[in-house]
Amino acid sequence: MSTPLAEPIKSLLKSAAKRLTGTRRRQFMAEVTLELFEGSPTKAERVLGWGRETVRTGIMELTPGIECIDYSSGKGNKKTEEKEPQLAQAIRDIVEPHSQVDPDFKRSFAYVKISLPYTFWFTYRPYIFNQNQPIT
């Protein structure tokens, strides 16, 4: 039976796990689970709040020759520029006539005095209305 952990020990273990990432984190969690919780991921989850599946994966990774590879780079949303490559040029075409240079010539970028809703309206207008009908 595992011994109860004091609060400072729990917070220290949680802090150490948060500072690690990927395989190192999982292996650390697995080692702690094997030493303090008799190899039970469920007990580690209950006491420390770690995910059971993460701890199980870490225990498997402690076996020589096994390493689970993360696919974290493939997760999440793609950049808007990748999803709609024509959008950047459309916004530039709308904004360019309204841009002005820095009056002191201290900066190389231009200022624009239009709002995002204005830009959005003119960028997506062809998609919202049929282009053959006049817009009033």
Could you tell me if 87 and 80 are in contact, meaning their C-beta atoms sit under 8 angstroms apart? Answer: yes
The number of domains in the chain is 2
What are the backbone angles phi and psi of residue 129, rounded to the nearest 5°? -115, 155
- The contacts of residue 122 (CB under 8 Å, 6+ apart) are 94
Q: Which domain holds residue 57?
A: 7-61
- Quick check: is 52 in a domain? yes
pLDDT tens track for 11-44: 999 999 999 988 899 999 999 999 999 999 999 9
In the numeric block, the tokens 């402690």 are attached to 62
- Whole-number pLDDT of residue 1: 46
Give the pair of three-digit tokens for residue 50: 């770690």
Work out the end-to-end distance of the chain between its first and last CA atoms, rounded to an integer number of angstroms.
Answer: 78
Question: Is 136 within the bounds of a domain?
Answer: no
> Is residue 41 in a domain?
yes
Cβ count near 49 (within 10 Å): 10
The pLDDT of residue 136: 44
pTM over 0.85: no
Neighbours of 14 (CB within 10 A): 13
19 and 55 in a single domain? The answer is yes
Query: Which parts of the chain register pLDDT below 70?
Result: 1-3, 71-74, 119, 121-136
CB neighbours of residue 47 within 10 Å: 17
Which amino acid makes up residue 8? P
In a domain, 67, yes or no: no
CB half-sphere exposure, 64, CA atoms < 13 A: 0
Mean pLDDT of the chain: 80
On whether residue 68 sits in a domain, the answer given is no
Tokens encoding 31? 């080692």
